[in-house]
Amino acid sequence: AFARRFTAVVGEPPLSYLTTWRMAIAARMLRETGASLSDVAENAGYTSEFAFAKAFKRHFGAPPGAYRRERRAVSAL
């Protein structure tokens, strides 16, 4: 019942929403801090750096390290 109501109100299922939120936190940390990958994973709610990296790549199409390098290079211009 909760999942149906959440989806109706928010427009996406709860776990999808949670993943999007976690990835937004991680992407911001990768862009704006020099935090280690394990710290980023932990702050985004992942207990495993490997699981985080896999989810991040699935969401953004690039691994976290490549995402960080690309975003930092763009902001340096």
- Helices 64-76 & 14-32 angle (0-180, nearest 10): 50
Cβ atoms of 19 and 59 within 8 Å: the answer is yes
CATH architecture assigned to 17-76: Orthogonal Bundle (1.10)
| pLDDT at res. 76 | 63
Q: CA 55 → CA 28, 59, 74, 75, 76, distances in Å? A: 15, 6, 23, 24, 27
pTM for the whole thing?
Answer: 0.84
Sorted by where each begins, the domain ranges of the chain are 17-76
pLDDT band of residue 7 (cuts 50, 70, 90) is very high
Number of H helices, E strands in the chain: 5, 0
| pLDDT at res. 71 | 81
pLDDT in tens, 21-74: 999 999 999 999 999 999 999 999 999 999 999 999 999 999 999 999 988 766
| pLDDT at res. 75 | 64
| Collapsed DSSP state (helix, strand, coil) of residue 74 | helix
